[in-house]
Structure 1
């Protein structure tokens, strides 16, 4: 009889323990499930926020790209306008029809201040006083040989000589810029104008070569667009 009672008690204890264990496991599962759910919800929020930020950044990039394209177009138009005014046939004919006396080339007056001297020389370019511009830029280089804008001065010497039809001199200055100032921002423009010089000198192969180098080396430059058109 006692043996039966002992067995019954043992069985009851085991059943109770099993029940408690099962309930504990269930509680743990519920707790873990609840925690996992919250984390999942938070993760969704984070992903949504990141997506919103990405959309915002994409919109900003598209806006900036549009502005960049607009500026590039304006630059091309401005360059083409300057190209026409300085190197166009009508201006060259005007210069040839009414040549300026050589003694007028000495009328370029500089102050000795680097910035003012450069501005004065460039003012002659804008007013199409080519002999004065040539003299002023040469004097600028002589007075300020280590100035940062010496490369620009060399470029404009090429421009004013090209506009006057002095092709060998123009070629010399453009080539000087390419060889002595390879990091100059004027390199693409100089390459395009050098190609034009070669073209007018009857050196078609040299013109094509320098334009192809320009297109390959500086594909996004405004001058590269002009070179592409010239190569067609």
Structure 2
């Protein structure tokens, strides 16, 4: 993933630089052509033939490089194309310099012979103005190129930041998983006590998940208690239907559980909160009959009396 993102960034960077470089080379070719044309109008081919030959040769090489198409894969193609345009740019600029030298020599020869005309001066001035405009555009392209490079650097920095954040998140995730893994590989009692601690501190969702995890990984003498406390967690959150289901599971799955009296009491209370008063009374009466000496039976008897007084 990192390599593909970097490759895309490189392609975008090379494409951007190549576009700017192409415009710069094109402007330089136009500038060199204009200068060579002016030199020809002034008769530089005769007055400064050596400079003119060099200018025309370099211009032809620059033009050839500018339009040449490499036969390579995309990234290599872009790099080769960029190199050709850079060479075209350099040759065009040198061709312009030779043409300008030819113009200077022609002017000197013309001044000494008195053949410089007013129309020729006007043409030179016009070409100078055009060259100034081209130079301004070249400066603008250079500024755009600098801005593109700066944006590319920002992109690289952002990529590095994202990689760091990714590693940090992975570390945090590992820390979150570690306590649970440690609990499962240690004493089952530690996990049970952890769930009971969450219950006592009123963190009922966390406590319920711990007890459910206990039942999923262990089957021992504390399993019925863990199932009972799942029902208590739902009950304390006033979620009476899932609480009723959890308490009924204690009686159906753990028939000899020491939590049976408390479970019957809570089953009756769940029915009562759900306005199922007949079912509540039946479970409380069953508790009184089956476990008469328990504390839970004492509470059940009081609830039965209140219910009879209320609906009698």
TM bin (shorter chain): 0.5 to 0.7
Number of residue-to-residue matches in the alignment = 126
3-state SS, counterpart of residue 221 of structure 2: coil
CA distance 1:108–1:131, change in 2 (3 Å): farther
CA distance 1:224–1:108, change in 2 (3 Å): farther
Cα separation, 2, equivalents of 1:216 and 1:118:
32
Equivalent residues in 2 for 1:132-151, closer than 5 Å:
132-144=206-218, 146-151=219-224
CA offsets, 1:135-181, max 9 Å, x none? 1111111111x121110000000001011111111011110001111
CA offsets, 1:34-93, max 9 Å, x none? xxxxxxxxxxxxxxxxxxxxxxxxxxxxxxxxxxxxxxxxxxxxxxxxxxxxxxxxxxxx
Cα separation, 2, equivalents of 1:170 and 1:184:
18
**Alignment match, 1:204:** 277
Cα separation, 1, equivalents of 2:276 and 2:224:
25
Normalising to structure 1: TM-score of the pair?
0.52
Is 2:196 the counterpart of 1:122?
yes
Structure with bigger gyration radius? 2
3-state SS, counterpart of residue 207 of structure 1: helix
Tell me, which stretches of 5 or more residues in structure 1 are unaligned?
1-105
3-state SS, counterpart of residue 292 of structure 2: coil
Normalising to structure 2: TM-score of the pair?
0.39
Cα separation, 1, equivalents of 2:178 and 2:215:
13
What is the aligned-residue RMSD (CA, Å)?
Answer: 1.7
Cα separation, 1, equivalents of 2:297 and 2:259:
12
Cα separation, 1, equivalents of 2:208 and 2:178:
9
Dislocated runs of 4+, deviation >2 Å: 106-110
